[in-house]
């Protein structure tokens, strides 16, 4: 018979709160994302890694969310809850019922709505610690959500850590655990030139992720317009994410909106350069993937991106919001294959600092610190 949650906590803490042996943990994850984005990918990687290490993760996800279906496809326990708002009482009651019946050691919320719902679900349950992952580098507002009921905040970068501190969260309640991605294995990269009938002289640049304003999609035309004529003529642009819309022209550059791609590593490996014009980024896992695949990135130096990219070593960083500087950096890579090769060659070693195993281990350390206290 499985040990009860209380018995597990005794074993974890030991005598007078001192851990003396490693016990499997039950973790209730809560994620409200309705799309497949970087945060949902991290939840799946974390839950899968925890299960492989003998823990028991249960993920509460939004009804019909891609995360829910992907978890079930790989045999990880997942429960669907309709989450309509941050303080959705019906959703909080449903999560509370899962906490009561499943008896987790830790509840781990992965986004702002999940954070609020977990707080509501845990009212009166001081015996279950709440850990919250923060993925955005914005200063938080409001005292209620960021008060002492959250045992620990996991910040995915030092930029996120600093934003939490500016918002009034004590530094000793924050732990930096970088997002992590598995090392991609691609035997044959996708050949965008052959697919799109682009000539061998073209340079394929890519944008990967959610096609939203904060990710800089609206800046692509402005960047293209600022390129000198020769680099602009050589450039081709592939957009991986959002909805598929086929060919178009952005700032004088022939572009192709491929939409969401399941085999994203295969697609990214066929790029020559990653354009990452995001105006706000907690860390940027697409950049980690690109570096691991030897695709040099260009990015604005915002949020956690300067913690990822070593400027002029594994990629190029430009001042935040400076479209002219971004275009200059893009032009340098478009016309200089040796520079692309040098920056790309440094990428895999840099990407290893952000491996998924490190993320899983760092998260477990955070849990055990909270439980030991």
Average pLDDT over residues 173-193: 95
* Res 21: pLDDT: 46
Residues 97 and 146 in one domain: yes
The C-alpha torsion from 307 through 312 and 314 to 315, rounded to 10°, is 80
Residues 251 and 283 in one domain: yes
Residues 196 and 297 in one domain: yes
In a domain, 85, yes or no: yes
- Residue with token string 């923060």: 134
Q: What is the CATH number of the domain that holds 257?
A: 3.40.50.2000
In a domain, 237, yes or no: yes
Segments forming the whole domain that contains residue 258: 192-353
* Res 7: pLDDT: 47
Residues 119 and 260 in one domain: no
The average confidence (pLDDT) of the chain is: 92
The count of structural domains within the chain is 2
pTM passes above 0.85: yes
- Exposure string over 165-194, b if 16+ CB within 10 A, otherwise e: eeeebeeeebbbbbbbbeebeeeebbebbe
Residue 276's nearest CA partner among 260, 299, 307, 304 is: 299
In a domain, 185, yes or no: no
CA gap 53, 365 in Å, rounded: 14
Q: What is the pLDDT of residues 345-369, one digit of tens each?
A: 999 999 999 999 999 999 999 999 9
Residue 259 class from Cβ within 10 Å (0-12 exposed, 13-18 middle, 19+ buried)?
middle
* Res 11: pLDDT: 46
């Amino acid at each position: 018979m499985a040990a009860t949650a209380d018995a597990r906590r005794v074993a974890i803490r030991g005598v007078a709160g001192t851990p003396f042996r490693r016990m499997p943990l039950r973790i209730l994850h809560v994620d409200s994302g309705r799309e497949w984005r970087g945060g949902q990918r991290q939840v799946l990687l974390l839950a899968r890694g925890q299960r492989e290490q003998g823990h028991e993760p249960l993920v509460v996800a939004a009804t019909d969310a891609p995360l829910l279906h992907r978890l079930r496809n790989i045999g990880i326990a997942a429960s669907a809850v309709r989450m309509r708002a941050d303080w959705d009482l019906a959703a909080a009651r449903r999560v509370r019922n899962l906490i009561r019946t499943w008896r987790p050691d830790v509840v781990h919320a992965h986004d702002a709505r999940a954070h609020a719902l977990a707080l509501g679900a845990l009212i009166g349950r001081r015996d279950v610690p709440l850990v919250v992952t923060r993925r955005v580098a914005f200063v938080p507002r409001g005292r209620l959500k960021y008060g002492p009921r959250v045992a620990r905040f996991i910040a995915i970068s030092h930029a996120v850590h600093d934003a939490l501190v500016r918002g009034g969260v004590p530094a000793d309640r924050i732990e930096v655990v970088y997002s992590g991605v598995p090392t991609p294995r691609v035997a044959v990269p996708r050949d965008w030139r052959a697919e799109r009938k682009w000539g061998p002289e073209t340079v394929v640049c890519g944008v990967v992720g959610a096609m939203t304003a904060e990710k800089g999609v609206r800046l692509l035309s402005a960047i293209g317009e600022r390129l000198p004529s020769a680099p602009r003529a050589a450039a081709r642009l592939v957009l991986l994410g959002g909805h598929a819309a086929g060919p178009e022209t952005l700032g004088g550059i022939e572009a192709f909106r491929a939409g969401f791609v399941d085999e994203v590593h295969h697609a990214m490996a066929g790029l020559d350069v990653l354009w990452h014009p995001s105006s706000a980024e907690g860390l940027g896992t697409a950049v980690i993937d690109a570096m691991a695949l030897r695709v040099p990135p260009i990015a604005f130096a915002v949020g956690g991106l300067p913690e990822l990219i070593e400027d002029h070593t594994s990629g190029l960083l430009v001042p935040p919001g400076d479209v002219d500087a971004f275009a200059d950096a893009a032009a340098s890579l478009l016309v200089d294959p040796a520079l692309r090769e040098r920056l790309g060659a440094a990428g895999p070693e840099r990407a290893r600092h952000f491996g998924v195993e490190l993320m899983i281990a760092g998260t477990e350390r955070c849990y055990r610190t909270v439980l030991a206290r």
